[in-house]
Amino acid sequence: MAPLMLLDTASLYFRAFYGVPQDSMTAPDGTPVNAVRGLLDMIARLVRARHPGRLVACMDASWRPAFRVAAIPSYKQHRANPDGSEQVPDALVTQIPVISEVLAAAGVAMAAADGYEADDVIGTLTARASGPVEVVTGDRDLFQLVDDERRITILYTVRGIGRLQVIDEAAVTERYQIPGRGYAAFAALRGDPSDGLPGVPGVGEKTAAALVRVFGSVDGMLAAIDAGHGGWPGGSRAKLVAARTYLEAAVPVVQVAADAPVPEVDGTLPARPPDPAALAALDERWDLSSSLGRMMSALATRPT
């Protein structure tokens, strides 16, 4: 069965924006379109290389969901403007609505859920899937979704679309010395400065990995504390006791939602655009040229 491909769309268009010089790709009026065209080229390459049966571009309806901020106020706080919006370069801000318009006119399925991030949309669609899933992202948080039994893998873009790293349970174990599905607990313990998650003071990667190997989950660690169990690596028990409030709050922040209110979405690859006139107008307005053509050609090729 050909896999369902889920795109962490913001991760990809940020990579395209920073990976392609702005002045090399502009619309007739001089507006940069490097993120738009870069994303279209990425989708074309992914479809041709991986042959998905369905594809969904997952979007952020909220880049900093209220439920996560309520649990840990520092969550992504360093990336917020005074008005609460995300710090995004102006040259990219203008391109984000264009990306949505082009994908819609091209017939590429998109999915979002009010109050949730794209990660949660991906987690929810993965939970609903009855066949294999490939998640394309540059975000390690989504490593928690790997599941060999259900054939859920991450296509990690850290080295670019042309050098995707296929992350399965064995890859997570090799990288972090933890069980393949233990990444969420590991991340909560270690923390993540890029997301404003402090982690447990005094617990680094090695201790976090050891704790996950012994107890499996944060809930398992807290239950072991309450039961008075021994076997704590490197005197870590006292550190977790001191950080209990943080740990209890961190679990819903770090874990990707599996039950976000995502509308049903099919994701069938479009053999032709549903609105050719609208797509042609967008092509002319933004000069998407060969990038749009490559994506549409790739989408029209049926998986074997």
Q: For 129-153, write each residue's pLDDT tens digit.
A: 999 999 999 999 999 999 999 999 9
Q: What angle do CA 115, 118, 122 make, to 5 degrees?
A: 115
User: Rounded mean pLDDT of 182-211?
Assistant: 93
What the chain holds in terms of domains, given with CATH numbers, is 4-177+256-299 (3.40.50.1010), 183-254 (1.10.150.20)
User: Rounded mean pLDDT of 290-296?
Assistant: 96
Q: How far are the Cα atoms of 2, 33, 227, 244, 275 from residue 222, in angstroms, in the given order?
A: 41, 49, 9, 8, 54
For residue 304, what pLDDT is reported?
Answer: 58
> Rounded to 5 degrees, what are φ and ψ at 103?
-60, -40
Q: What pLDDT, in 10s, does the model give residues 6-37?
A: 999 999 999 999 988 887 899 999 999 999 99
How far apart are alpha carbons 40 and 44 in whole angstroms? Answer: 6
How many Cβ atoms are within 10 Å of 149's Cβ, its own excluded? 7
